[in-house]
Amino acid sequence: MDSSFDRMRGAFRGAWLVCSVVSVASALIPAFTQAQEGERRLDASIDSLAAKGWFSGQLLITRARATLYSRTEGLADRGSGTPVRDDTRFNLASLNKTFTAVAIAQLAEQGKLSLDDRVGRFLPRWANATVRDSVTIRQLLTHTAGMGQYWSSAGWNAARERIRSVNDYAAVLASEPLLSSPGTRFEYSNSGFIVLGAIIEAVSGTSYYAYVQRHILDRAGMTNTSFPAIDEVGGDVAVGYTSGVSGPPRAPDFTQSAPASLPNTVTLPGRGGPAGGGYSTAQDLVKFGEALLNDRLVSRAWRDSLWTPRSKDPRAPASIRYGLGFSMTVDSAGRVIDVGHNGGTPGGGSELVIDPRNGTIIAALTNQDVPALFRVMARARAFTRAPVVAANAPVAPSAPKAPALSDEFDNPATLANWQRFDVVEGWPTKTKRVEIRDGFLLLEPATSGWYADFQAPFLFKDVTGDFTAHTRVRVTGIGHEIPQALWSLAGLMVRAPRVGGMKAWTPNTENWLFITTGIAARAGQPVIETKTTVNSQSTLRLHDIAPGPVELLLTRRGAKFELAYSQGGEFRTLATFDRPDLPATIQLGVNAYTDWESTGALQNDPKRFNTTALTGAPDVLAAFEYLHIQQPQR
């Protein structure tokens, strides 16, 4: 239930979910082939995680009520050998904060409360006077009330197993001091949602659990969702298994076997409540999403109010915001891309993501520690973000021409399938680090630059004919979020092969183009750089973007190359280059470069630049999450 789950997921979330690609790519790949290839990748990722013991759970993806993907994996109970089924119920952790938010919206819509009411109007005996007299319902919903976590209260350990009601939670935290003055800063708070649950009970005259059952679960048709006490949990509930952590600051090495884990029973409260801890299935979560999209729980106006960005965790990426009890992703213009919530607790994790524009819903649940759920959700989003295909795209019954060109970066052994430009052509290396680790290709360049005749690191595969290349990359400094060295970028690149390598090199013969992201001429301002180089004459453009991960798309169709990017919304085309000079077989891959400003006089001498081990102040690390390369049918 801790906000660290939001922040860790956000570190590589940026802005996710379904997009429309208005691109040359549309005409390249048959619709059903894209779906088959996307499903194959998603299956392979889950297979890999499950084989190493990292993931068991459910994943369901729908769009406009049609199922796009459904999967159950692993064991619900290792002791009995019970497999996970569609009706297996999982701990929701913080995800059911959305139930609490919807309940508050319903009561507000009925005129029974106002979001600007103070807590004391409904809970006049609340022990903490500041909470009672100063905190508003709106501040509780947006995590700006200054409250903290109820499990940090002095009496929590003694009370945990006895918790059966909202009043039991409230008794533990009622005297809990505030962490900050109400309304002054974002502080993700589970205690605040307990207060909201108490307000729901005071206003409705019934228990929180009965209210949610009647006014949310029953209306949405969520027949497999409830809040059982720990001693009432039935055989349809998955046992949670934890290795002792709910979310490390960095992802584990999924290529290794998962660590030993034990049942999480000793970490759970006696019963879940308004801040989290209900039980549900992926199917029921999709029903909840559909009920929200179809205005069956609150009016369209109130739903939009819940889904309007209102606060931001300063520790989270710029694209992640918080509304009224819902988290959301926004694009660089502040427009909402997706909404939902997640939950993480030792031995359990959940996530619901809704795209209000086209009705796509992703629901995922696990009964293991949450890191593997991040990976599953990343792959699920990549699956839903496949480029939209033109209506007149050709259809062929064969499999993709060269699926082996793609790489999920799940296995360090696949690094051997990539060629290094410096090794192939015999140049001194400008690569400080290149490795596949924790599900990412990590590329760290030394001082270098791709410009005119000047060179930098480039990993590639030879690709013949038309293609669409799609990656997701996060570019950071070494030990900090934004590179400190100017001209520190990384992304997708294509290049005409050179015959003879370094020994046969002559100036004015480089031909390539790329789309990259990072820091260019202005410190602290992330950009997209597009650059085309014809006979070593480079032309570039820069486009400002928000911080965070970026999806890049590079498409070839004949002599035409289209370069586009997305931070969660629609792909935006930034450049289209006609390059009839580039051969049919071309080098396609990823590049990185940094610290051009340190190269001084060598900027006038490309041969010395390329043959010298440069010592400047390099500061960039590119983490590529995947590289998907698809080609049309022949």
Q: Say how many Å lie between the first and final Cα of the chain, rounded.
A: 50
Query: From CA 348, how far away is CA 2, in angstroms rounded?
Result: 12
Residues, the chain, total? Answer: 634
Residue among 44, 143, 45, 164 nearest 97 (CA): 143
Q: Which residues contact 418 (CB under 8 A, 6 or more apart)?
A: 407, 459, 460, 461, 589
Q: What is the pLDDT of residue 254?
A: 82
Its pTM stands at 0.74
Residue 448 has pLDDT above 60, yes or no: yes
CATH fold of 4-103+200-384: Beta-lactamase (3.40.710)
Strands 241-242 and 262-263: antiparallel
Residue among 456, 447, 450 nearest 427 (CA): 456
Is 492 within 8 Å of 586 (Cβ atoms)? no
Q: What is the pLDDT of residue 34?
A: 55
Residue 245 has pLDDT above 90, yes or no: no
Query: From CA 353, how far away is CA 63, in angstroms rounded?
Result: 12
574: left (phi over 0), alpha (psi -120 to 50) or beta: alpha
Q: What is the pLDDT of residue 509?
A: 94
Query: From CA 162, how far away is CA 214, in angstroms rounded?
Result: 25
Q: What is the pLDDT of residue 630?
A: 86
The residue with greater pLDDT, 202 or 257, is 202
Residue 402 has pLDDT above 50, yes or no: no
CATH number for the segment(s) 403-630: 2.60.120.200
Number of other residues whose CB lies within 10 A of the CB of residue 457:
27
- pLDDT single digits (tens) 142-195: 999 999 999 998 889 999 999 999 999 999 998 889 999 999 999 999 999 999
- pLDDT single digits (tens) 533-589: 999 999 999 999 988 889 999 999 999 999 999 887 678 899 999 999 999 999 999
Q: What is the pLDDT of residue 266?
A: 87
- Where does the pLDDT of residue 335 fall: very low under 50, low under 70, confident under 90, or very high at 90 and above? confident
Q: What is the pLDDT of residue 386?
A: 61
**Mean per-residue pLDDT over the chain, rounded:** 88
Residue 403 has pLDDT above 50, yes or no: no
Q: What is the pLDDT of residue 389?
A: 36
Query: From CA 216, how far away is CA 508, in angstroms rounded?
Result: 68
DSSP 3-state assignment of 76? strand
Angle among Cα 494, 500, 504 to the nearest 5 degrees reads: 110
The residue with greater pLDDT, 613 or 291, is 291
Residue among 594, 620, 626 nearest 475 (CA): 620
Query: From CA 614, how far away is CA 618, in angstroms rounded?
Result: 10
Is 518 within 8 Å of 619 (Cβ atoms)? no
Query: From CA 172, how far away is CA 367, in angstroms rounded?
Result: 27
Query: From CA 483, how far away is CA 290, in angstroms rounded?
Result: 41
Please report which helix (H) or strand (E) contains residue 553, including its range. strand 550-557
Lowest-pLDDT range, 210-214, 279-283, 435-439, 619-623?
435-439
Q: Beta partners for 494?
A: 513, 588
Strands 327-330 and 336-345: antiparallel
Which tokens go with 520? 């260019």
Q: What is the pLDDT of residue 23?
A: 33
The residue with greater pLDDT, 255 or 19, is 255
Query: From CA 488, how far away is CA 476, in angstroms rounded?
Result: 9
For CA atoms 146, 149, 155, 161, the dihedral sign is positive
**Residue range 272-276: mean pLDDT, rounded:** 97
Per-range mean pLDDT, top range of 125-129, 530-534, 548-552: 530-534
DSSP 3-state assignment of 174? coil
Q: What is the pLDDT of residue 331?
A: 79
Q: What is the pLDDT of residue 3?
A: 40
Residue 277 has pLDDT above 50, yes or no: yes
Query: From CA 323, how far away is CA 327, in angstroms rounded?
Result: 6
Q: What is the pLDDT of residue 26?
A: 38
Q: Which residues contact 3 (CB under 8 A, 6 or more apart)?
A: 143, 188, 313
What residue type is assigned to position 118 of the chain? R
Mark out the alpha helices in 392-466 (DSSP H runs). Answer: 421-425
Q: What is the pLDDT of residue 340?
A: 97
Number of C-alpha atoms within 13 angstroms, CB side, residue 224?
A: 21
**Phi and psi for 190 in degrees, rounded to 5?**
-80, -30
Query: From CA 401, how far away is CA 490, in angstroms rounded?
Result: 27
- Where does the pLDDT of residue 37 fall: very low under 50, low under 70, confident under 90, or very high at 90 and above? confident
**Residues 331, 335, 338, 340, Cα dihedral to 10°:** 110
38 alpha-carbon distance from chain centroid: 17
Q: What is the pLDDT of residue 393?
A: 36
Query: From CA 519, how far away is CA 487, in angstroms rounded?
Result: 6
The residue with greater pLDDT, 472 or 26, is 472
Q: Is 183 exposed, middle or buried (0-12, 13-18, 19+ CB in 10 A)?
A: middle
**Residue range 57-62: mean pLDDT, rounded:** 98
**Residue range 610-631: mean pLDDT, rounded:** 91
DSSP string, 252-270: --TTSPPPP-EE-GGGS-S
Domain limits, CATH 3.40.710.10, in the chain = 4-103+200-384
Q: What is the pLDDT of residue 631?
A: 80
Residue % of the chain over a pLDDT of 70: 90
C-alpha pair distances (Å), 140 with each of 193, 274, 371, 377: 7, 12, 28, 28
Number of other residues whose CB lies within 10 A of the CB of residue 399:
12
Domain limits, CATH 2.60.120.200, in the chain = 403-630
- Where does the pLDDT of residue 7 fall: very low under 50, low under 70, confident under 90, or very high at 90 and above? very low
Query: From CA 594, how far away is CA 452, in angstroms rounded?
Result: 15
Q: What is the pLDDT of residue 207?
A: 97
